[in-house]
């Protein structure tokens, strides 16, 4: 090998050492100045990314980080999304996160007892979510979850769901519905023998009543037993939450005799059996209680004002309890 080749190789090696040393100082040592959220839009170029890095760190120019990403073979691996960056993070840390697609996750919670309209309102104000006009229309939601039900009440399991910026409201609803289907099937397949309910949907309806009547979890099986006892005797359920649900926006607080007398499909003081649909989103405890009602001879209950109820076997006993607790 000629000395000229050796000199050339040595020159290249020296240049690479100098380049790497330079890039380590100019591209890798800079740190994020302030905690922030880095948003790399879909379709962003390497230069776009590098210019964002200049904005949030003490990088002086986009060129060093562009060069470093290119010579390390990652220029085509940057993934769009939101990334959480913290004060003191190195530029290399951020490049690694963006290449791995470790995007920022957000969360949204649907509490037990939420109505469908509450869920829609929460989704409508949730940020950030990818939105399109009409993305929360009933037709689109029904198509997304594959249901023929005209009323979507109760079809979404109450829980906390995590999402990223590119998710849509409907994608979250689809997940919540899939969870509900699994939970409902689990409850139905394990239900007590001889349960009067005809199908999983009726169990869901009953669970929604239990959800709205029970404040403390340990009373749910007992309340379920009261409802089942009344159904067996063909007694009207006479549960206030169904009346309130049927009144809709007309109800502004304080249930009156006029409210109880108004006939709606959900007024269980005037109509026998279960209401036509759920009235809320029941949690697992309520689904389980609907599938496993407590066996007893109780037919009435009244709220005691402390979150618990007084249960009675007879109408006379119940009327005395009402005088005591109301």
d(CA 147, CA 323): 45
Q: Tens of pLDDT along 187-215?
A: 999 999 989 999 999 999 999 999 999 99
Largest interatomic CA distance in the chain: 113
Contact, 180 vs 155, CB < 8 A?
yes
| Residue 165 CB-half CA count within 13 A | 16
Strand, helix or coil at 303? Answer: strand
The neighbouring-strand residues paired with 160 are 109
Q: Tens of pLDDT along 266-322?
A: 999 999 999 999 999 999 999 999 999 999 999 999 999 899 999 999 999 999 999
Whole-structure pTM value = 0.84
The secondary structure of 53-120, three-state, reads: HHHHECCCCHHHHHHHHHHCCCCCCCCCEEEEECCCCEHHHHHHHHHHCCCCCEEEECCCCCCHHHHH
DSSP 32: B
* Structural domains present in the chain: 3-100 (3.30.1490.480), 106-182 (no CATH), 185-325 (no CATH)
Tokens 């949730």 locate to 126
């Amino acid at each position: 090998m000629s000395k000229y080749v050796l000199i050339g190789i040595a020159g290249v090696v020296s240049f690479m050492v100098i380049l790497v040393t330079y890039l380590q100082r100019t591209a890798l040592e800079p740190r994020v100045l302030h905690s922030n959220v880095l948003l790399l839009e879909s379709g962003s170029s390497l230069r776009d990314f590098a210019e964002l890095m200049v904005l949030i760190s003490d990088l002086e120019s986009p060129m060093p980080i562009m060069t470093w990403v290119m010579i390390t073979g990652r220029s085509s691996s940057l993934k769009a999304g939101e990334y959480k960056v913290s004060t003191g993070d190195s530029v290399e840390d951020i490049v690694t996160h963006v290449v791995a697609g470790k995007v920022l996750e957000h969360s949204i919670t649907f509490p037990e007892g939420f109505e469908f309209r509450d869920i829609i309102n929460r989704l409508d104000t949730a940020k950030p979510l990818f939105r399109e006009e009409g993305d929360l229309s009933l037709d689109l939601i029904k198509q997304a979850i594959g249901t023929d039900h005209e009323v979507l009440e109760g079809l979404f399991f109450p829980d906390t769901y995590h999402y990223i910026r590119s998710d849509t409201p409907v994608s979250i609803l689809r997940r919540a519905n899939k969870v509900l289907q699994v939970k409902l099937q689990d409850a139905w397949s394990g239900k007590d023998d001889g349960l009067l309910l005809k199908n999983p949907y009726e169990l869901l309806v009953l669970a929604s009543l239990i959800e709205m009547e029970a404040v403390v979890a340990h009373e749910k099986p007992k309340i379920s037993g009261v409802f089942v006892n009344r159904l067996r005797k063909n007694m009207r359920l006479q549960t206030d939450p169904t009346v309130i649900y049927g009144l809709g926006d007309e109800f502004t607080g304080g249930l009156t005799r006029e409210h109880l007398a108004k006939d709606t499909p959900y007024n269980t003081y005037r109509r026998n059996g279960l209401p036509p649909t759920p009235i809320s989103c029941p949690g697992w405890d309520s689904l389980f209680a609907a599938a496993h009602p407590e066996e007893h001879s109780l037919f009435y209950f009244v709220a005691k004002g402390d979150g618990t109820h007084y249960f009675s076997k007879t109408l006379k006993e119940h009327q005395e309890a009402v005088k005591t607790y109301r």
